[in-house]
Each structure stands twice: as C-alpha cells, then as structure tokens.
Amino acid sequence: MLADRIRMCSFRLSKKDDPLGSPGNQDLILGDMSAGYFGTVNNLVTNTQLTNLMGMTAGTLLDAENTDVTFHKFAHKGRILFIPSRPIKHTISWDNIQSQNGVKGKVISIDANMYLCRLMTGSRHYYTSNNSMANGGEWYDTFFKFHTTNGGALTDSDIYVDGNGSYTLCQEVHSSGIANRVFRQGRTYMSGVASTSGGSLAGWRPVLEVL
C-alpha cells in the first residue's frame, strides 16, 4: 500500500548511523561504520571523574583537575568509540594501567550510559613490530585515516602529537621484547616501551567503547 511505502521511506530517511544513540552527532560526517568519524563531543566527563571511575591514581593529569574532556567520536567495525583528543594522564606506565584493569577494559557508567574503558589497539596484531604500523588497529583506522593529510578532518593539534603524554600506550606487546608494549605517537609513529616505564612522555589516553 502507498501508506506502507511512505512509512518505510520515512524510516530509512530518519535512520541514524549511531544505532545506540550515544552522545554527540548521530550521523557520520566521514567514512562509514567500518571506519568513520562523527565529530567531537564535549560535556561527557571530566578528567577527574574519569580517573576516579577507573581508580587510576598513578600518573599526573595533563590538564587541571575537573577539566572537561574533548572526545573524538568514531565508528570502528560497527562499534562506537570515544577517544580523547589529548591524553588524560602522563608519567604513567602500562603496568599502572593494567593494575586497574585498564588495558583490556573495565565497564564504567557515565550518565546512565555504559562504556568499556580500555586502551586503544595500536596494531592489527597483538605481538607486533614497527613494520606493521602501516595498517590495522584502532589508531590507524581513526587518527591516521581521518587526518587532513589523508583527506580527513583531523589536524596534528586535534590529536596531540607532542609533549607530555604524547606516547599513547596501547594494548599490544612489541617485538623488541616480551616486556615491552606498543605506543603510538603523531599520525604514524610506532615503537615499544617497557611495561614498567612511566616517563613523562608515556600517556593514558583511554577509549570509551559504547556498550
């Protein structure tokens, strides 16, 4: 019937890219749900609230206490990810993060929404070398893919490429040694750092994966 066709057409036109209705834009501005960008989101959580939710007492806040965190909202393999534009903490080790179940993730609640708070993946392989930096992993499919040099919207200032905490600690083991962990910096740089190392460049930049 004509009425049914009109309703179906209206449904298709009103359907949003974000099936979960999470904060921020509901429609992608770049890419698709396998790798896409929705834009930035503010007023989701402060740096102090997030560290308290995770019990992350180690490390030093990059910004002043109770600073609102600006997130980039991405689609990745059908999931919705919120990734901070800047690290939350610096001078923190991978082991510090792991001690609070922050590597593979801990479920937290923010404004009645549930998130898995975890580290990004820096490669498509858990045991990885610098040679695998060219593709794969959440870092590549977000910050690299949607950088302005690749026709995207993100500049270096949007993703914080230098300074304290700019070595974004990731989940993977680095091939330079079984005790070393992957970090990413800038658009493309990948290397390894000891899991116990908590120098000022080491950064905690957690993903909030919408559940």
3 state SS for the chain: CHHHHHHHHHHHHHCCCCCCCCCCCCCCCEEECCEEEEEEECCCCEHHHHHHHHCCCCCEECCCCCCECCEEEEEECCEEEEEECCCCEECCCHHHHHCCCCCCCEEEEECCEEEEEECECCCCCCEECHHHHHCCHHHHHHHHCCEHHHCCCECHHHHCCCCCCCEEEEEEEECCCCCEEEEEECCCEEEEEECCCCCCCEEECCEEEEC
Mean pLDDT (whole number) for 144-157: 92
Mean pLDDT (whole number) for 39-57: 98
Confidence of residue 5 (pLDDT cuts 50, 70, 90): very low
Top-confidence residue, 27 or 173: 27
Distances (CA, A) of 168 to 104, 110, 134, 155, 160: 15, 23, 17, 17, 10
Residues 6+ apart with CB under 8 A from 144: 150, 187, 188
Quote the CA–CA distance of 50 and 71 in Å, as a whole number.
12
pLDDT of residue 54: 98
Residue-averaged pLDDT of the chain: 90
Confidence of residue 127 (pLDDT cuts 50, 70, 90): low
Confidence of residue 6 (pLDDT cuts 50, 70, 90): very low
| pLDDT over 90, % of the chain | 75
